[in-house]
Structure 1
Amino acid sequence: MARSISITSPYDKTDEILKNLENMDGIMQLQVIQNASVKPPGDVITVVTPNKHLQKLMRVLDGVGLGKKDGISILSSEPDSFIPTSSSFTVYRDDNESTWEEMEMIISNDSNTTINTLIIMTISGALATIGIATNSIHLVIGGMLVAPGFMPILRVSLGIVSRYERWHYGIWDTLKAYVTLILSAAVTAVILASLNYSPMVGATSYYIPDKELLEYWTTFTFPSVLASAVASVAGAILVATNKSVFTSGVMIGLALVPSAAIIGIGLVNEDFTLAGRAFLRFIVDIALVFVLPLLYLYWERSRSHKRDTSV
């Protein structure tokens, strides 16, 4: 899909930017409005380019101080439609890769641990615990779907590859999110026990054999680990191609939410062996979500981006 880039340029940089862009392949529209920006003061240059030329455009803008003090700032968007006067083939058969900055914005939107994010993680832990207690997989899946538990880990990988200096935010967001989920699971397990439901046994079994869910998310089998591995890569690709709406499906392939919930359940019931097994499975999935997207993003860096983030 084509990108529309609005560039706010200091007055003394406008001519240099226009000269660079006029000679660049793939520019489909180029407009300048002088003295249009009040804060920061300067001119506004609007560029429309197919997505396949986006990374090259970003490298050109890096050269004129993108994101630097007294440099230029940009705002990117995707037009709902674009009808050029030249051939439209490059627009409608375009690729769909995001810039580092767009990926960071997507991840920030889904992973910053605001009070609302932590409430959602609390709900996720409760749903997963109830589902495990009753052997009701649809409730566990519900807990997986609502949990924004993939993005904060990916933020670390992205930050390292794009050289975003605040990549450590992802570590703190991951810790806060999953500690909240584990505590929620523990509290839910206590509530269930007070109502004579056993989260360890699955006394009210709907349709899954007793303890089968516990076994699946606390043991290592080739199919289950492979599922986590491919889901990790899929999540990174979805973010890199600006399809983050589908990353909730990635959480179903991972064992992060149920294994974290089982840690809380095991601790409350003083079954430290179960809690330990769940913790090991949790750590393995964390490692997969960190390492495999890291490798994929390094490949993206060498193949297409070839730049550091300007954020």
Structure 2
Amino acid sequence: MQNLRVVSPSDRTDEVLRVLDETPGVAHVVVLRGAAVRPEGDVVDAVVVRECANQVLDGLRSLRLTHDGAITMQPVETVLSDAARSAEKKAPGDPDDAIVWDELIGRTREESSLTLTFVAFLTIALLLAAIGVVTDSPVTIVGAMVVGPEFGPLAALSVGLVRRQRSLIRRSLLALLVGFPTAMVITALGAFGAEALGWIRPEAMDDLQQVDFIYQVGPFSLVVALLAGAAGMLALVSAKSAALVGVFISVTTVPAAGFAVVAATVGSWRIAALSAGQLGINLLGIVVAATFVLSLHRRSARAQADR
């Protein structure tokens, strides 16, 4: 369930209560007249079933409260109340299948920002992947997969496409199109430094046995990317963090980028091209599958609302 708090101008509080009263799945409505100081007005608290959160937020947004007041919503782990249980029964659908779009957009917008932290994590992940390639270490490759932050902008891109939010699409594309090249350039500099020190031999690419799967592009490359994208979006909308970690270690986006860099620095252009192709297939597959999952969720929610 969700805890809703609304700061409303006093002349619109009755309309706020009307929205809450007309929406199934709302319980424990509390009104504090004149309690808000900045902005001035009344405070309305309520418990809202997750399945009805979008309906409530759309109704409140139509009252222009985002301009003259405020709307906040956050998850509530435990609610001990007969009224809350009754509200859950009235609400259509299942809470685990419900997507609170404003919550999802907020989470993906934050995770898709092009920040120094994002670039730092991506660079560290690519450096780990490069070390895993040079040492033929699948364990290090898995570590690079977990560290990589690239699923955030990929998920945001899917959300932006489904919701047709150009700002979110631009934000995620900027993170990917700037973050990956920056991290790859830094990794290339590190690879050149390692070659100068004699840590990397040009013939090292011919001796790989444990990590050569990274650049072996085939039909299963796309299948894995599609499955990972679908599972990742399901994990994101249902807040299943353990499942999301599993997604991170199932796709070879970061390892493929690191492999491409190392192969290019030692002159193995065929392997570099194959690795770049693996990277592109994984990125495309994740976005396509995640967008498809969100679209299905949206259609399902509309079908339940029309019943």
TM-score range, shorter chain: 0.7 to 0.9
Question: What is the aligned partner in structure 2 of residue 301 from structure 1?
Answer: 298
Question: What is the aligned partner in structure 2 of residue 62 from structure 1?
Answer: 61
3-state SS, counterpart of residue 112 of structure 1: coil
Equivalences for 1:80-229 in 2 at 5 Å?
80-86=77-83, 88=85, 94-95=95-96, 97-167=98-168, 168-198=170-200, 201-202=203-204, 210-213=207-210, 215-229=212-226
Question: How far is the alpha carbon of 1:110 from its aligned partner?
Answer: 2.7
Question: How far is the alpha carbon of 1:214 from its aligned partner?
Answer: 5.1
3-state SS, counterpart of residue 45 of structure 2: strand
What code does the residue aligned with 1:296 have?
V
3-state SS, counterpart of residue 113 of structure 1: coil
3-state SS, counterpart of residue 245 of structure 2: helix
Q: Normalising to structure 2: TM-score of the pair? A: 0.87
Identity over aligned pairs, percent: 22
- For the residues of structure 1 that align with 2:239 and 2:255, how far apart are their CA atoms? 27
Equivalences for 1:18-97 in 2 at 5 Å?
18-65=17-64, 67=66, 69-70=67-68, 72-86=69-83, 88=85, 94-95=95-96, 97=98
Asked whether the equivalents of residues 146 and 248 of structure 1 are also in contact (C-alpha less than 8 Å), the reply is: no
- For the residues of structure 2 that align with 1:17 and 1:63, how far apart are their CA atoms? 10
Bigger helix share: 2
- For the residues of structure 1 that align with 2:203 and 2:51, how far apart are their CA atoms? 54
Greater relative contact order (CA < 8 Å, ≥ 6 in sequence): 1
3-state SS, counterpart of residue 33 of structure 2: strand
3-state SS, counterpart of residue 88 of structure 1: helix
3-state SS, counterpart of residue 28 of structure 1: strand
Q: Is the alpha carbon distance of 1:130 and 1:269 closer, same or farther for their aligned partners in structure 2, counting shifts above 3 Å?
A: same
Question: What is the aligned partner in structure 2 of residue 258 from structure 1?
Answer: 255
- For the residues of structure 2 that align with 1:201 and 1:293, how far apart are their CA atoms? 39
What code does the residue aligned with 2:127 have?
A
What code does the residue aligned with 1:115 have?
L
Q: Normalising to structure 1: TM-score of the pair? A: 0.86
Question: What is the aligned partner in structure 2 of residue 309 from structure 1?
Answer: none
Q: Is the alpha carbon distance of 1:212 and 1:225 closer, same or farther for their aligned partners in structure 2, counting shifts above 3 Å?
A: farther
> Larger deviation: 230-239 or 58-67?
58-67
- For the residues of structure 2 that align with 1:10 and 1:221, how far apart are their CA atoms? 60
Equivalences for 1:282-297 in 2 at 5 Å?
282-297=279-294
Question: How far is the alpha carbon of 1:231 from its aligned partner?
Answer: 0.7
Q: Is the alpha carbon distance of 1:238 and 1:201 closer, same or farther for their aligned partners in structure 2, counting shifts above 3 Å?
A: farther
Question: What is the aligned partner in structure 1 of residue 233 from structure 2?
Answer: 236
Asked whether the equivalents of residues 149 and 174 of structure 1 are also in contact (C-alpha less than 8 Å), the reply is: yes
Q: What root-mean-square deviation, in Å, do the aligned CA atoms of Structure 1 and Structure 2 show?
A: 2.6
Q: Is the alpha carbon distance of 1:38 and 1:160 closer, same or farther for their aligned partners in structure 2, counting shifts above 3 Å?
A: farther
Asked whether the equivalents of residues 31 and 43 of structure 2 are also in contact (C-alpha less than 8 Å), the reply is: yes
- CA deviations 1:34-79 (Å, max 9, x no partner) are 2222333222211102212223223322332354x34x53111122
Gap runs ≥5 in structure 1: 204-208, 307-311
